[in-house]
């Protein structure tokens, strides 16, 4: 009886016209063509989605790269701005240094020329248009044009300062030469026994004009040139005995008489303070001494007027 019921139940499931209560499954009939269309549409839809995703991913990557590049550029720009600001500060400091050099130049000229003038100094320092903006600490804003102007002005100022210093060096050299050729030191250290001018003649009989000064020293004492110059006479010269004469230029000459030994020769270049002879008692002399004489344009003048 159970087998019979089971068989009946299977038959009812396969009956096409069986009522709903007897068959619980639904069937939809789709033609093969329709199925192909559906599959095709689905494939296109999937391709569209995949394409869209790839496209947006590319756009995202591009934007990401551009953002990174922009960030790098911004950092570089900040770093360059910082460098420009540092350069600006250094440039302003250079201007200050240059102004100090200018003041020093003026001061040196005042000392060298012993005058209260600045006309000979090539001041010529042009002030660049540097902008200062107070923002807590002093901030210097310079654009490229400002920087170019500042650098150009500094170049001009350095050139002017160099010319001025070269000029000053020439002036100093000339002054040094004038000082060196001025017989401003003593030829030896000793007691002055006879001064420049009229005196009672040491050889007896009336008075005579003494054209120099006599300095009493032991025989063999070194005698030095009192200025730079050239030896023009180094020989026996009558009453002067063994004599040395030095030409110092500008019409100035010095003579050293009564020496025991001459150490230089004609034409020899002599420096101030150089030993040129040893003292003696030669020529018309009443005792060991050096006769020191200064001539200006061949006229004897008082040597003490040159001595320091």
Shorter beta-carbon distance to Zn ion: residue 215 or 227? 215
State residue 227 phi and psi, 5-degree precision. Answer: -165, 165
Interface of this chain with Zn ion, residues 156 to 215, rule: CB under 5 A: 214
Structure tokens at 296: 């200006």
Q: Does 256 bind Zn ion (CB under 5 A)?
A: no
Shorter beta-carbon distance to Zn ion: residue 51 or 287? 287
**Which span sits near Zn ion by CB under 5 A: 58-66, 82-90, 269-277, 286-294?**
286-294
Residue 95 near residue 150 (C-beta atoms within 8 A): yes
**Which span sits near Zn ion by CB under 5 A: 77-85, 165-173, 234-242, 288-296?**
288-296
Shorter beta-carbon distance to Zn ion: residue 272 or 291? 291
What is the number of the residue whose Cβ is closest to Zn ion? 291
Q: Does 291 bind Zn ion (CB under 5 A)?
A: yes
Helices (H), ranges, the chain? 2-14, 32-113, 144-180
- Number of residues in contact with Zn ion under rule CB under 5 A: 2
Q: Does 242 bind Zn ion (CB under 5 A)?
A: no
Residue 84 near residue 147 (C-beta atoms within 8 A): yes
> CB of 268: closest distance to Zn ion in angstroms?
24
> CB of 187: closest distance to Zn ion in angstroms?
12
Q: Does 241 bind Zn ion (CB under 5 A)?
A: no
Shorter beta-carbon distance to Zn ion: residue 256 or 278? 256
Residue in 283, 76, 301, 140 with CA at minimum distance from that of residue 210:
301
Q: Could you give the C-alpha distances from 83 to 130, 137, 193, 217, 263, in angstroms and in order?
A: 16, 17, 77, 74, 68
State residue 226 phi and psi, 5-degree precision. Answer: -90, 0
Rounded to the nearest angstrom, the gap between the alpha carbon of residue 180 and the centroid of all alpha carbons in its chain is 32
Judged by the rule CB under 5 A, the positions of this chain that interact with Zn ion are: 214, 291
């Amino acid at each position: 009886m159970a087998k019979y019921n089971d068989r009946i139940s299977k038959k009812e499931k396969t009956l096409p016209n069986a009522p709903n209560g007897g068959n619980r499954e639904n069937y939809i009939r789709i033609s093969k063509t329709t199925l192909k269309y559906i599959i095709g549409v689905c494939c296109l839809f999937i391709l569209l989605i995949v394409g869209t995703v790839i496209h947006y991913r590319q756009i995202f990557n591009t934007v990401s790269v551009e953002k990174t590049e922009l960030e790098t550029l911004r950092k570089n720009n900040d770093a360059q701005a910082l460098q420009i600001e540092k350069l600006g500060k250094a440039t302003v400091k250079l201007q200050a240094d240059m102004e100090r050099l200018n003041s020093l130049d003026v001061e040196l000229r005042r000392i060298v020329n012993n005058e209260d003038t600045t006309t000979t100094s090539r001041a010529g320092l042009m002030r660049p248009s540097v902008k200062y903006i107070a923002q807590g600490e002093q901030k210097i804003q310079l654009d490229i044009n400002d920087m170019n102007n500042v650098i150009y002005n500094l170049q001009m100022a350095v050139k002017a300062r160099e010319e001025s210093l070269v000029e000053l060096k020439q002036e100093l050299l000339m002054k040094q030469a004038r000082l060196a050729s001025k017989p401003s030191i003593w030829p030896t250290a000793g007691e002055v026994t006879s001064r420049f001018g009229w005196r009672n003649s040491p050889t007896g009989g009336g008075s005579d004009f003494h054209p120099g000064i006599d300095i009493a020293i032991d025989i063999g004492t070194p005698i030095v040139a009192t200025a730079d110059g050239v030896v023009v006479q180094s020989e026996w010269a009558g009453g002067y005995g063994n004599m040395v004469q030095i030409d110092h230029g500008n019409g100035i000459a010095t003579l050293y008489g009564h020496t025991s030994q001459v150490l230089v020769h004609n034409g020899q270049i002599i420096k101030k303070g150089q030993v040129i002879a040893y003292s003696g008692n030669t020529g018309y002399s009443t005792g060991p001494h050096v006769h020191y004489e200064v001539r200006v344009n061949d006229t004897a003048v008082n040597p003490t007027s040159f001595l320091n």
